[in-house]
Copies of this chain bind each other. A is one copy, B any other.
Amino acid sequence: MTRNAGSHGPTTAASIRRVGLKLIYEHGFNAMSLRQLAAEVGLQPASLYNHIRTKQGLLFGLVHDHMLALLEQSAQALAAAPQGDPVGRLRAFIAHHLLYHMEKKREVYIANFELRSLEPANYRIIVALRRTYEERLIALLEEGVAAGVLDVHDVPVTAYAILAMLTGACTWYKPEGRLSKPEIVALHTDLVLKGCLRTAEAPQGRGPDLSKLTGQPPLRRGNRPTPPAAGHEAPA
């Protein structure tokens, strides 16, 4: 098998994306300058524009590609999990989420922290993709509740809580750190499942019964009026 003509080594466009990712991660989108980027890639600033349309376009491209990859990988993870086993599917999602987030630490960081640097139109696109992703976990929790194996007070809020917890791991994770990836996955999986699994004994024994507290039935997808918008507000 011969190598393609253009595939011997990183192309300039790929370098720009790679270095751009690094610089945005390290300094933030606003604090990073295209001069810096060009210098690190070994170009004059003007030459960047043969490969990107604008600085904003670079950011959007990075975040957008990340979102698509995240959705794609989550789909694959769920496709590989047995259909009839809600808990197994939830485990698969948790493992996927953690592994992707530990692997793509910088993409994830940018996608979360630089949302606000996106122009309104781009912002809407990314938030819609993120919403799609969140809905996957929400659907998983609802499956489990419907099957009677999970017990959560409020599905969407619990989903956001889980996502926040798992995503937090990529904040401090380092490959050379004390815990291995499988350990981290196991630990968080355990934490989440213990928090969500239906137990034989009455759950009230261990925690407050929310329906008592609020006088409302626990919310499910069906009667959820306006799910809380996760994440930061869009710029005005």
Name A's B-contacting residues (CB within 8 A): 26-28, 30-31, 109, 113, 116-117, 152-154, 157-158, 160-169, 171-174, 177-180, 182-184, 186-197, 199-201, 203, 206-208, 210, 213-214, 219, 224-233, 235-236
Contact = CB atoms under 8 A, between A and B. Distances in A.
A157 B171 contact: no
Contact of A178 (B194, B196, B226): B226
B206 A27 contact: no
Contacts of A152: 191
B232 A171 contact: yes
A172 B28 CA distance: 22
Given A160-B172, A228-B172, A154 B179 contact: yes
Given A162-B165, A164-B171, A194-B194, A210 B183 contact: yes
Contacts of A157: 169, 179, 184, 187
Main secondary structure of the interface of A (DSSP, over half): helix
A166 B228 CA distance: 15
B26 A28 contact: no
A167 B168 CA distance: 10
A231 B168 CA distance: 8
A232 B24 CA distance: 13
A207 B116 CA distance: 38
Given A160-B168, A161-B168, 8 more contacts: A153-B186, A157-B169, A165-B165, A178-B224, A178-B226, A180-B214, A190-B203, A199-B199
8 contacts: A30-B31, A154-B183, A158-B187, A160-B171, A161-B169, A164-B168, A172-B229, A178-B224
Contacts of A229: 172, 174
A168 B159 CA distance: 11
| Of listed A27, A160, A162, A168, residue having the most chain B CB within 10 A | A168
